[in-house]
Amino acid sequence: MALLKGTHLVAEINGVRCSIIETGLDTKRMEFLKEVLASNGYEVMTEPEKAKDGTSTGSYVMGVTDLLMNPVVKLYQKKLFRKDGAVINPAYWYQWPNQWDTPYWQVQR
């Protein structure tokens, strides 16, 4: 997960250089993040991850075409918003239930 590492990775997805948001995504998480990022004005790119032998791993890699976008920075600067206008916090980003409106320093995992 990108928020735990804090690094800014850039890679090519479908022939377009992108800032990597997360890797190893399942379909449900990919759709959730795609909706969040698209509603915040980012062009989202996804592709299936490949193993070293070239076979599909069943998970996805996601990026945005804005090369300066860093999800850690945007999240903690409170520059990502839900569709209802509320600021996205780490609990919402990670989809931890019942803690979406709790400040990040009070979240119980």
CB atoms within 10 A of CB 20: 20
Tens of pLDDT along the chain (109 residues) come to 455 566 788 999 999 999 999 999 999 999 999 999 999 999 999 999 988 888 888 899 999 999 999 988 898 899 999 999 989 988 889 888 775 566 656 666 5
Residue numbers of the domain that contains 33: 2-106
For the domain that residue 47 is a member of, what is the CATH number? 3.10.28
Partners of 87 in the β-ladder: 81
Instruction: Provide the domain count of the chain.
Output: 1
Q: Taken in order 52, 64, 70, 38, is the CA torsion positive or negative?
A: negative
DSSP 8-state assignment for residue 94: T
